Amino acid sequence: MKAIPLMIRAIKGLMMRHLPGMVTCAEFEAFIADYDDGRLTDRERRVFAWHLRMCPDCRRYLTAYRRTVEMAGRAFPVPGEPVPDEVPDDLVQAILAARDVRR
């Protein structure tokens, strides 16, 4: 049962490795950060887009990766309160006292 998927993966790997303008998933991985930063050359962007079109695993990966970034950014809530006008006096005193103790 597992022989067929294995063969498909082997063929896919060979195609990605050897056909012109293609990269393997492992090589594609190195492009992601630069793609998201807008730092790929035109040629690299074409290679990136072509791999993504051909590879459902990398499409799934990239979707999940971007969702992860979004979740990380929003996991910490926007503070309900504005920046305080000043530092509470008791906190200032506590900081100065802590400094004195540890000197």
Is the distance from CB of 21 to CB of 49 less than 8 angstroms? no
Which residues within the stretch 21-50 sit at the binding site for other proteins (CB under 8 A)?
Answer: 24-29, 32-34, 37
Helix-, strand-, coil-residue percentages of the chain, each rounded to 5: 75, 0, 25
Answer for which of 12, 44, 45, 52 binds other proteins (CB under 8 A) is: 12
If one asks whether residue 53 binds other proteins (CB under 8 A), the answer comes out as no
Burial of residue 58 (CB within 10 Å: 0-12, 13-18, 19+) is buried
Which residues would be at the binding site for other proteins (CB under 8 A)?
9-10, 12-14, 16-17, 24-29, 32-34, 37, 55, 57-58, 60-61, 63-65, 67-79, 81-87, 91-92, 94-96, 98-99, 102
